[in-house]
Amino acid sequence: MEIRHLHYFMAVCEELHFTKAAEKLGISQPTLSQQIRILENELGMPLFDRIGKKIVVTEAGSLLFSYATEMLNTLQNVKDAIKDLQELQGGQISVGIMPSDLDYRITQLVIDFHEKFPKVKLKILASIDIMRQVLENEVDIGIGTNVEADDRLVMIPLCREEYVLVVSKEHALAKQTAITIAELKELPMVMYPEGFLGREVVEDAVKTHGFQLHTILETSSVTSIMNLVRENIGVTVQPYPLIQQMNDPNLCSIRILNGAPSRSLSIIYRIDRYVSQATTAFIEQLKEYFTG
């Protein structure tokens, strides 16, 4: 069995169409079909059921797909490890992070890391689905929020952050230092849309007190949220360190009593993924940045 056969097999599994898989691989369809037949002959079992123009992965094919995924991941890890030895402090790191944290939280961290490791290329991607990105190898590591334990992941806790009420300096509550969570019930809110983690964390907290947020405007952009709050259109509930980092004199933060929403931040990466020297250094800097 040759590695190229596994690559051909995986492409057909992903496309479930020989012609499309062949185009993706840059080979002809007859050549791809021939190589799959060679692999099937070697294993002694069909890997695909061909039903007219459609194909379906057989039980043997599903088994091979599982092992082939591990084998190709291991091979990529070997290549990455050897490349890491060759380049030492070189290479590339891709990181998934929540959009709001990307916009306001980690700029200085990226600057500091670049000064220490100028040969390392950082690729920072905003995402609201970081766990999926990590599991599907779209990013090397992620900074996840309220991540549940998963056998496929290494999880390194960073910190726990409390949410606060954020109002314009012109708002009637601007001079208050604290508010009970029950008092949020009637306040007109500017929030992320439903389904966004930053919204769900707050909704889950107020739900335990028997109410839902009174949301008058929704936007997926934290910058838009803050602009609307600054103009006193409504108020919002956001992590306190995020508001601290903004350091905006036109915004006031008010502590929430009796069960403030909170989030836990963690570094996550696949347990079977090779962690380069550069990635290890970035993880250490993340830990220092968020916990220091």
CATH assignment at residue 24 = 1.10.10.10
Contacts of 251 (CB under 8 A, 6+ apart): 166, 167, 168, 169, 226, 229, 230, 243
257 and 280 belong to one structural domain: no
**Best CA proximity match to 60, nearest among 9, 1, 135:** 9
**Domain containing 213: what range?**
161-262
Residue 86: per-residue pLDDT:
57
Domain boundary (69, 86, 103) is at: 86
Q: What is the pLDDT of residues 57-111, one digit of tens each?
A: 999 989 999 888 888 888 887 877 777 655 555 678 999 998 888 877 888 889 9
Question: 269, 154 in Cβ contact below 8 A?
Answer: yes
39 and 112 belong to one structural domain: no
186 and 243 belong to one structural domain: yes
181 and 201 belong to one structural domain: yes
154 and 271 belong to one structural domain: yes
- 3-state class of 89 per DSSP? coil
Question: 279, 77 in Cβ contact below 8 A?
Answer: no
φ and ψ at residue 148, rounded to 5 degrees: -85, 150
Residue 55: per-residue pLDDT:
87
CA distance 18 to 53: 9
| Average pLDDT estimate for 176-197 | 94
Residue with tokens 């998963």: 150
For the chain, give the mean pLDDT. 90
166 and 246 belong to one structural domain: yes
240 — pLDDT class (breaks 50, 70, 90): very high
CA distance 234 to 190: 6
Residue 85: per-residue pLDDT:
57
33 and 152 belong to one structural domain: no
Q: What is the pLDDT of residues 105-133, one digit of tens each?
A: 888 889 988 888 888 889 999 888 899 99
9 and 80 belong to one structural domain: yes
CA distance 105 to 34: 53
72 and 96 belong to one structural domain: no
Question: 116, 235 in Cβ contact below 8 A?
Answer: no
Look at residue 236 and tell me whether its pLDDT is greater than 90. yes
Q: What is the pLDDT of residues 5-25, one digit of tens each?
A: 888 999 999 988 888 888 988
Long-range interactions of 205-210: CB distance < 8 A, separation 24+ = 205/163, 205/181, 205/259, 205/260, 205/261, 205/262, 206/181, 206/261, 208/259, 209/181, 209/182, 209/185, 209/258, 209/259
Look at residue 36 and tell me whether its pLDDT is greater than 70. yes
CATH code: domain of residue 191: 3.40.190.10
**Global pTM?**
0.66
Domain boundary (71, 86, 101) is at: 86
Higher pLDDT, 84 or 244: 244
Q: What is the pLDDT of residues 245-283, one digit of tens each?
A: 899 999 999 999 999 999 999 999 999 888 888 888 899
Question: Which tokens go with 46?
Answer: 């069909």
Structurally, the chain folds into a number of domains equal to: 3
Residue 79: per-residue pLDDT:
79
CA distance 32 to 28: 6
Residue 27, judged by CB atoms within 10 A of its CB (0-12, 13-18, 19+), counts as middle
Domain boundary (66, 86, 106) is at: 86
225 and 82 belong to one structural domain: no
268 and 147 belong to one structural domain: yes
- Mean pLDDT highest for which of 1-5, 89-93, 226-230? 226-230
Contacts of 212 (CB under 8 A, 6+ apart): 203, 206
Residue 88: per-residue pLDDT:
52
97 and 239 belong to one structural domain: no
Residue 231: per-residue pLDDT:
96
| Average pLDDT estimate for 167-182 | 96
